[in-house]
Amino acid sequence: MERSTYKRIVLKLSGEALAGDQGFGIDPEMIQSIAEQVKELHELDVEIAIIVGGGNIWRGMAGSAKGMDRATADYMGMLATVMNSLALQDSLENIDVQTRVQTSIEMRQVAEPYIRRKAIRHLEKKRVVIFAGGTGNPYFSTDTTAALRAAEIEADVILMAKNNVDGVYDADPSVDENAKKYETLTYLDILKDGLAVMDSTASSLCMDNNIPLIVFSIAEKGNIKRVVKGEEIGTTIRGQS
């Protein structure tokens, strides 16, 4: 029988992963493909929490760069993550994967509020839990949300699925053909060298709480399952080397 290396994972999907090739909004085919990949994991008996970004709809920094109040723009970004989370829940439930969405900002008619112990209970019952609304605070990101929730629910690993790159490189591989992919890194390397993996708040939180992170590409179907089974694709980041 196929087995997962991990008992409990946090899967971080950037908003762009849901946009597919169109680059914005939600691509129904892409989200269906992600849902099917999550279902495959579910069959490996691993507990799955998902954090979805909102960059395919709205980014707070972009709004604030155009003169909008930063906190207001960030709240709009958090609402965007709720839209993505509901879309993903819908796709998962269409293929019979039981899912609960919990929001960090209360909107009880739409989803459950975030309650840590309840989330853990859902996971134990093998329901996929989607954490929506980021941390609920402006000036943070959904990468930081992934780090925070992973620490709270004691996840074994964060899987960071990217749709345009298959790991961490020493230069931008879409610009520099000599860019080298790292197999392993430490959080200190990321902070010291300013590598564009996740923001420094998220990296520090992962480092301080010793949560490993794997960055990999979701563009190739079946990759999430490969990572969960322990195949070394992408780049692994740890607290110490």
Task: Show the tokens assigned to 154.
Answer: 């004691």
Taking contact as CB under 6 A, which single stretch among the options 9-17, 38-46, 113-121, 183-191 is the one that binds ligand UDP?
9-17
Quick one: 9 or 18, whose CB is closer to ligand UDP? 18
Is 54 part of any known ligand binding site?
yes
Judged by beta carbon, residue 54 or residue 212, the one nearer ligand UDP is: 54
CB atoms within 10 A of CB 199: 14
Question: Given candidates 42, 59, 127, 149, which one binds ligand UDP under the rule CB under 6 A?
Answer: 59
Closer to ligand UDP by Cβ: residue 55 or 167: 55
Q: Is the distance from CB of 35 to CB of 92 less than 8 angstroms? A: yes
**Residue number with CB closer to ligand UDP (4 or 56):** 56
Residues 116-155 close enough to bind ligand UDP by CB under 6 A: 134-135, 137-138, 140-143, 145
DSSP 20: G
20, 77, 167, 212: which one binds ligand UDP (CB under 6 A): 77
Annotated binding-site residue? 114: no
Is residue 4 within 8 A of residue 147, CB to CB? The reply is no
229 burial level (CB within 10 Å; 0-12, 13-18, 19+): middle
By C-beta, is 122 or 162 nearer to ligand UDP?
A: 162
Question: Which residue number, 59 or 127, has a Cβ lying nearer to ligand UDP?
Answer: 59
Pair of tokens at residue 127: 């329901």
Q: Can you tell me which of 15, 167, 212, 234 binds ligand UDP, judged by CB under 6 A?
A: 15
3-state SS of the chain: helix, strand, coil percent to 5? 40, 20, 40
> Which burial class, exposed, middle or buried, applies to 238 when counting CB atoms under 10 A from its CB (0-12, 13-18, 19+)?
middle
Phi, psi for 4 (deg, rounded to 5): -90, 145
d(CA 104, CA 78): 9
20 sits near ligand UDP (criterion: CB under 6 A): no
CA distances from 135 to 71, 179, 196, 202, 239 (A): 13, 34, 21, 11, 23
By CB under 6 A, how many residues form the interface with ligand UDP? 23
Q: Show binding-site residues for UMP.
A: 54, 74, 135-142
Q: Show binding-site residues.
A: 12-15, 54-55, 59, 74, 135-142, 163, 169, 172
Q: Show binding-site residues for ATP.
A: 12-15, 55, 59, 163, 169, 172
User: Can you give the binding site for ligand UDP, defined by CB under 6 A?
Assistant: 14-16, 53-55, 59-61, 74, 77-78, 80-81, 134-135, 137-138, 140-143, 145
